Amino acid sequence: MKRAINFGAGPSAIATEVLLEAQKELLDFRGSGLSIMEASHRSKLYEDIHNEAITLMRELYKIPENYEVMFIQGGASLQFAMIPMNLSKGGVAQYADTGTWSSKAIKEAKIQKLNVEVVASSKESIYNHIPSDIKFSDDADFAHITSNNTIYGTQFKEFPSTKAPLVVDASSDIFSYPIDWSKVDVLFAGAQKNAGPSGVTIVIMRKDLIESGATDIPTMLQYRTYSENNSLYNTPPTFGIYIIWLIMKWIKEKGGIEAMEELNIKKAALLYDAIDNSNGFYVGHAQKDSRSLMNVSFNIKDKNAELEAKLIKETEAAGMIGLKGHRSVGGLRASIYNAMSIEGIEALVQLMEKFAKENS
Ligand SMILES: *Cc1c(COP(=O)(O)O)cnc(C)c1O
């Protein structure tokens, strides 16, 4: 069996141990004679997994009691609409525009005709940094940030302080470092980058915000529907939640989210060092103080598209996939989520160094 070294941005790598575990119990889960996929979402067999996934998540991510953990479908993109639908009180909705995903969130709030304010933006510089002067109003209905900008490779090092409910789109860095919940009121993530397969969105929200949310919107768009029914109001994406459970167990085995962070810092340093020590052959897209530990976007000197294509070809020949950068930045992007091993990154760095030597 050959496993690719998967640098894809999402859906992205899942640890081989996790997939092997899923394979092992695919036909007969816990002696039931059923695949977990075939089990009723009302069965004890499934509900135990569902609840264990939430319990483990609470334990590892240190989620306070007054926050709810919910599984919702529709991707992170549906959250762009659900957040304003539920949290808007007719006041102002504030956003920091740090990339494509922030601007998509802003677009959804505008569709709902909210009073939208963009308090900071790095759009002019192709989103190559997180603005340092982000100030949200304490009386905003909510304040929205994207903790990690998947395309541009920038990441908040510290969340802005505000009394307004802070909403964090953590789709590409959930579970990669511990969260200071005293600063965060809502955190959501499509699972497919760092937490599982596509089809599940994890939403962690302060309970009082759920309770005071709008009631004049469709049932499936109200957070209380998920909260009051333990995300079992209708059929949840059971197989995806099962894989999330396996991944939570895997994170625990590896030493928890603190250990993930430690490893992620080491992993990212290897790549950024390779860029910084290349005598200008490689040029990182993000400014140094905004660099993401999850997505490393870079170009070859003078945005040499020919050489970039050649390098991508060589990575593919070496069993690496998913390194082509997003069209808005070009070049290459290495997505190095929790499941990317240090060996995978070392292989890429080695290839990059050799390529620079041969092509400078
Ligand atoms: C991928 C991504 C999204 C979109 O997620 P979907 O689940 O495809 O809707 C939103 N925000 C960020 C930061 C992302 O990386």
pTM: predicted TM-score of the whole model, two decimal places: 0.98
> Which of 101, 194, 202, 292 maximizes ligand 1 atoms within 8 Å of its Cβ, making it the mutation to test the pocket?
101
List strand residue ranges (DSSP E) for the chain, in order. Answer: 5-6, 67-72, 92-97, 115-121, 142-146, 148-149, 154-155, 166-169, 186-190, 201-206, 282-284, 295-300, 320-321, 332-335
Residue 193 alpha carbon to ligand 1 centre in Å = 8
- Nearest protein CA to atom 7 of ligand 1, as residue: 75
Q: Residue 276: phi, psi to the nearest 5?
A: -70, -25
Which 8-state DSSP code applies to residue 199? T
For residues 147 and 276, membership in a common domain is answered with no
- Tell me which of 253, 287, 316 is where a domain ends: 253
Judge whether 11 lies within some domain.
no
For residues 138 and 264, membership in a common domain is answered with no
For residues 218 and 332, membership in a common domain is answered with no
CA-closest candidate to residue 279, choices 359, 184, 346: 359
For residues 53 and 195, membership in a common domain is answered with yes
Residue 146 alpha carbon to ligand 1 centre in Å = 10
In this prediction, residue 1 carries a pLDDT of: 80
Judge whether 9 lies within some domain.
no
Residue 44 alpha carbon to ligand 1 centre in Å = 32
**CATH value at residue 48:** 3.40.640.10
Burial degree of 255 (CB within 10 A; 0-12, 13-18, 19+) = exposed
- Domain containing 243: what range? 16-253
Judge whether 204 lies within some domain.
yes
Count how many domains the chain has.
Answer: 2
Q: What is the dihedral of CA 95, 97, 103, 106, to 10 degrees?
A: 10
In this prediction, residue 256 carries a pLDDT of: 98
Cα 77 to chain centroid distance, Å, stands at 12
- Nearest protein CA to atom 12 of ligand 1, as residue: 171
- Tell me which of 253, 276, 295 is where a domain ends: 253
CA-closest candidate to residue 36, choices 51, 26, 44: 26
Judge whether 62 lies within some domain.
yes
Judge whether 88 lies within some domain.
yes
Q: How far apart are CA 136 and CA 60, in angstroms?
A: 29
In this prediction, residue 133 carries a pLDDT of: 85
Which 8-state DSSP code applies to residue 184? -
Element of type H or E holding 261: helix 256-276
In this prediction, residue 271 carries a pLDDT of: 98
Residues sharing a CB contact under 8 Å with residue 99, sequence separation 6 or more, in sequence order: 122, 127, 146, 149, 150, 151, 152, 154
For residues 35 and 155, membership in a common domain is answered with yes
For residues 232 and 277, membership in a common domain is answered with no
For residues 117 and 265, membership in a common domain is answered with no
- Residues within a 6 A CB radius of ligand 1: 10, 75-77, 101, 146, 150, 169, 171-172, 190, 193
Q: What is the mean pLDDT of each run of 10 residues along the chain (360 residues)?
A: 94 98 98 98 98 98 98 98 97 98 98 96 97 96 98 97 98 98 98 98 98 97 98 98 98 98 98 98 98 98 97 98 95 98 98 97
- Tell me which of 229, 253, 277 is where a domain ends: 253
**CATH value at residue 334:** 3.90.1150.10
* 8 A C-beta contact, residue 186 and residue 83: yes
Q: How far apart are CA 234 and CA 232, in angstroms?
A: 5
CA distances from 19 to 1, 2, 243, 268, 337 (A): 13, 14, 8, 24, 16
Judge whether 291 lies within some domain.
yes
List active site positions: 101, 169, 193
Q: What is the dihedral of CA 329, 333, 339, 345, to 10 degrees?
A: -160
Residues sharing a CB contact under 8 Å with residue 154, sequence separation 6 or more, in sequence order: 98, 99, 122, 127, 128, 129, 130, 148, 286, 287, 290, 291, 292
Output the six-digit token pair for 264. Answer: 């992620």
Residue 76 alpha carbon to ligand 1 centre in Å = 5
CA-closest candidate to residue 207, choices 257, 171, 145, 165: 165
- Nearest protein CA to atom 8 of ligand 1, as residue: 75
CA-closest candidate to residue 153, choices 95, 100, 94, 80: 100
Output the six-digit token pair for 317. Answer: 């020949």
For residues 320 and 204, membership in a common domain is answered with no
For residues 232 and 175, membership in a common domain is answered with yes
For residues 25 and 82, membership in a common domain is answered with yes
For residues 197 and 247, membership in a common domain is answered with yes
* 8 A C-beta contact, residue 264 and residue 295: no
